[in-house]
Structure 1
Amino acid sequence: MTDPVNPPAGWYDDGRGALRYWDGTQWTEHTAPLAPAADQAATAAYPPSPADLTATAPYGAVPPADQYATQQFGTDPYGTRAAGTDPYAIAPYGTTTTTTTTRPAGGPGGESTGANVVGIIALVIAVVGFVFACIPFVQVVGWILLPIAFVLSIVGLFLKGRKWPAITALIVSVVGAIAGAIVAAVVAWGIFGQLVDSGVIQDEIRETIEDELGTPVPNESPDPGDDDEATANGLAFGETMEWSDGVTMTVSEPEPFSASDLSAGSDQAEDLVFTLTIVNDSTENVQPIVVSTLSSGGTEATRIIDVGAEGGQVGIPPTTPIQPGESITWQEAWSVADPDSLTMSTSPSFVYEAATFTNVSQ
């Protein structure tokens, strides 16, 4: 019984410049030359004989005799046979007949058009890893996802199906790794520069010299935040911390936060969001390197990263230098155990003494 899905048994163009026999379920090894061009069809009316086909088939194997009887040797000089039903039928009086055959899917010369699931997964992971690799302080997520995407993209290249998702994932994972390395280098250089400007490195060198020589060395690089230590503690949410060089920072009162499906970190009783603002009223640029911490009822809160939040991404600290007279504002979301017992420690960068904001009564 003929399979209603597959084409019927017969000779078809295999896409490689020859005819090949399809037995109704799969391709066989039997081949024959293609029919002549339309302008030569009148002088070449008959297909190869069984002996000719035997020469091209492995070990002399040929299709069954009844197949040749029905497929090759039609004798219909007056064209009474239905057009297109026999690719080897003789056209009446030397005229040419156009026949249309459909090559069975997946046969020789065909291309697989199925979905490459592994390649698609690799592409999704590569895109997410690229995004995280470009975000300072959460790059570790990108460094985990990008190698996974790279390996999956290599696997996808060797699987059946469309290759473009795997190829794209491979490119994105490589470019993401390069971009992440550049971002990490820029952040590290900024931190090093701030440590130099603040005198931290000089203090380390001075202490090393003192240990070696056994004599004190004058300290000419006082910490600009030393005078602010007493003021930096015990601020209420919504108040503003001001450092001695004119830089200020404000942390708003917490508000309820609804995480999107693209968020990560919402794992405690309640989610809150804070709005942070840094104003640079100093005479120098401020490179923000904000590392905030939050405790709730004696339990460390979990930072929420949400790139799909309404109104823009949440939880990603700023990295753009703040010019004198300018300011920058962003939001940080946290998952907390007790919203009535919050204490946040934060500062514009490592140069400044950390300020403490709280809603706990002193």
Structure 2
Amino acid sequence: MNKLNILTAAAVATLAFAGCTGVQASTTDTAPAGSNQGSSAPAAPGQATQTPSDGVEVAETTEASDAASPESGVAAFGEAYTWEDGIAVTVSTPKPYKPSETAAGTESYKNFVSFEIRVVNKTDKTWDPALFHASVQSNNEEGEQVFDSERLKEMPQTKLLKGREAKFTVAYGVANPKDLVMEVNPDFEHESVLFQQ
């Protein structure tokens, strides 16, 4: 076996192993609040840091359904999912969306929905929002993400320091706005989770 084959085999084995060891997640009613103020103190994993001046609204807590158990990897829209290392993602309930005339990804659909995504970084390292990925299924078919520079802000590009948060909105063309499942993966190190109605 030549060196190239050995290196290729090692790289494939490493990627396969990395895919099996993602950071686990559990469901929570609300994500811990991040702040957009620098902090010299480390943030405690899973600890809420909301203060009246940070303007973060925290939803009322509700009893989670059996489907949202930590082992299932499923949460309801409006709930937060927190991984063991402290990354927390909240996906809002879907809202009707009207794309602009210049939006891309609208050709095959008549129904559109948007979601506000909130990511809070309570880990010990920075989080790169460029690695965030979400997809939507509706009526057992994939939805298509809408790119609309007139009505949607660009996804965040700046890495999040420990204790900070980012909010952004994504929109999708869907077959049925009453039948939605969103798969969310904050990056390659974390296992994906599903949000549903």
TM over 0.5: yes
8 Å CA contact 1:345, 1:354 repeated in 2: yes
Structure 1 residues 357, 201: closer, same or farther in 2, change over 3 A? farther
Q: Give aligned pairs, total.
A: 143
The 5 Å alignment of 1:125-274 reads 204=14, 223=21, 225-226=23-24, 230-231=70-71, 233-266=73-106, 267-274=108-115
8 Å CA contact 1:247, 1:280 repeated in 2: yes
8 Å CA contact 1:232, 1:354 repeated in 2: no
Q: Secondary structure at the match of 1:263?
A: coil
- Letter in structure 1 aligned against 2:103: S
| Structure 2 equivalent of residue 282 of structure 1 | 123
| Structure 1 equivalent of residue 174 of structure 2 | 336
Larger strand fraction of residues:
2
Q: Distance in 2 between matches of 1:291 and 1:332?
A: 11
TM-score in terms of structure 2 length: 0.65
- Letter in structure 2 aligned against 1:281: K
| Structure 2 equivalent of residue 347 of structure 1 | 185
The 5 Å alignment of 1:40-79 reads none
- Letter in structure 1 aligned against 2:127: V
Q: Distance in 2 between matches of 1:333 and 1:256?
A: 9
Q: CA deviation at 1:241?
A: 0.5
The 5 Å alignment of 1:271-310 reads 271-288=112-129, 289-309=131-151
Q: CA deviation at 1:263?
A: 0.8
- Letter in structure 1 aligned against 2:148: D
Q: Distance in 1 between matches of 2:111 and 2:184?
A: 21
8 Å CA contact 2:24, 2:83 repeated in 1: no
TM-score in terms of structure 1 length: 0.36
Unaligned runs of 5+ in 1: 1-199, 208-218
Q: CA deviation at 1:317?
A: 3.3
8 Å CA contact 1:303, 1:333 repeated in 2: yes
Q: CA deviation at 1:247?
A: 0.9
| Structure 2 equivalent of residue 134 of structure 1 | none
Q: Distance in 2 between matches of 1:295 and 1:330?
A: 20
Q: Secondary structure at the match of 2:89?
A: strand
8 Å CA contact 1:232, 1:356 repeated in 2: no
Larger helix fraction of residues:
1
Q: Distance in 2 between matches of 1:235 and 1:278?
A: 15
For residues 264-313 of structure 1, the C-alpha deviation after alignment (integer angstroms, 9 at most, x for no partner) is 1123131110000100011111112112110001111111000011xxx3
Please report the RMSD computed on the Cα atoms of aligned residues, expressed in angstroms.
2.8
Unaligned runs of 5+ in 2: 1-9, 27-68
Q: Distance in 1 between matches of 2:25 and 2:150?
A: 41
> Does residue 1:317 correspond to 2:127, yes or no?
no
- Letter in structure 2 aligned against 1:240: A
Q: Distance in 1 between matches of 2:86 and 2:127?
A: 11
Q: CA deviation at 1:327?
A: 0.3
Give the number of the structure whose alpha-carbon radius of gyration is greater.
1
For residues 300-348 of structure 1, the C-alpha deviation after alignment (integer angstroms, 9 at most, x for no partner) is 1111000011xxx34x433321100000010000011111110110121
- Letter in structure 2 aligned against 1:358: Q
Runs of 4+ in 1 over 3 A off after TM superposition: 200-203, 226-232
For residues 115-169 of structure 1, the C-alpha deviation after alignment (integer angstroms, 9 at most, x for no partner) is xxxxxxxxxxxxxxxxxxxxxxxxxxxxxxxxxxxxxxxxxxxxxxxxxxxxxxx
Q: Secondary structure at the match of 1:317?
A: coil
For residues 241-280 of structure 1, the C-alpha deviation after alignment (integer angstroms, 9 at most, x for no partner) is 0000111001000001111122111231311100001000
Q: Distance in 1 between matches of 2:16 and 2:169?
A: 39
The 5 Å alignment of 1:12-31 reads none
Q: Distance in 2 between matches of 1:259 and 1:205?
A: 38
Which structure is higher in RCO with an 8 Å CA cutoff and minimum separation 6?
Answer: 2
| Structure 1 equivalent of residue 33 of structure 2 | none
